[in-house]
Amino acid sequence: MSENLTNYKIDSKNQLVFLNSGRLFGIQSINIAQNPGLQNLSYAGMGIDTVKYIPRQEQTANVSIDGNLINQDYFLNLVTGNDLANVYIMRAKNEFDTCYNLISGYFNNFSCSYGIGSIPQISVQAIFIRDAGKIGTGQLPFNAANQLNAISTSNIAPTGEFLIPFGNNISLGIDTFNTNRLQSFDINIQSNKVPIYNMGSKSPKKIDLIYPINVEAIFSFEVGDYDLPRLRNIIQSGIIKNINLVAGDYSTNETVCNYNFNNLNLISENYSSPVDGFVTVNQVYQGKIYN
């Protein structure tokens, strides 16, 4: 007879995810890598002593979050701004003793992707610089303690129907051209942020956002009446376009998110005309966001 497992498992239904005091819906996975930044303390005669380690580098937690785009985009403003945020992973809204806390994080990478037949997916990366893990409420910073208190007293159950974007209500605007026959898109944004420390401080006093912010947008759509550019017209200044992508709920058409990027440069374009399908074009745009 086999022995019963002594440890218990934590089901995904016991993983409520909050950004500051608001619940995140649609999260598919969270990966957390803690970096203690330790080095062994070397000294003469240490062979007869217990090896000791001390922090000699910045202590951080690197976090990646993947999820479905449901209700709204929670992360884009955090990636393009310099605000710090807290994330809490809880088994229940008032179980503080089992809560995994991620305190004072800055988000620096964002991607949103979509293909026919799927829900748009969002992926972000962040670095948490103050603390991470199981932290007693008495050791939390003031704003984090207030956020957990707000979570414990609020109604965290979803109200009404989820807003879920799907192909029939996703549209693309390229200057004056508009189409809802989008086959796929990928939007990637990377920002450069630098934590600024006072000498002797364990956590930074602020985060500096270094401009510009890099943007890449990749689209595939059925051509229709889109005016394809002439190769010889792509001079050194390039072809500059303003891009507007709107994702609406599949049944109500209510806007879930709206991505606007001005002055993106057309980097490449592929034209495809299959014998058993429709003419499509694949485009890659790149650009920068300045302050």
Task: Provide the pLDDT confidence category of residue 37 given band limits of 50, 70 and 90.
Answer: confident
Work out the burial of residue 186: count CB atoms within 10 Å of its CB; fewer than 13 is exposed, 13-18 middle, 19 or more buried: middle
Beta-carbon-side half-sphere exposure of residue 132 (alpha carbons within 13 Å): 20
Which DSSP string corresponds to 15-49?
-EEEETTEEP-SEEEEEEEEE--EEE---TTGGGS
Check the CA dihedral 128-130-136-142 and report its sign: negative
Task: Provide the pLDDT confidence category of residue 230 given band limits of 50, 70 and 90.
Answer: low
**SS3 (DSSP) at 142:** helix
Report the pLDDT value the prediction gives residue 291, as an integer from 0 to 100. Answer: 79
Report the pLDDT value the prediction gives residue 238, as an integer from 0 to 100. Answer: 67
pTM over 0.75: yes
Angstrom distance (rounded) from CA 278 to CA 252: 28
Residue 193 has pLDDT above 70, yes or no: yes
Q: Where are the domains of the chain?
A: 12-289
Residue 200 has pLDDT above 80, yes or no: no
Strand pairing partners for 62?
Answer: 33, 127
Residue 237 has pLDDT above 60, yes or no: no
The length of the chain is: 291
Q: DSSP assignment, residue 143?
A: H
**Tokens at residue 291, please?**
């302050």
From the CA atom positions of the chain, what is the Rg in Å? 24
Average pLDDT over residues 158-179: 89
Average pLDDT over residues 159-177: 89
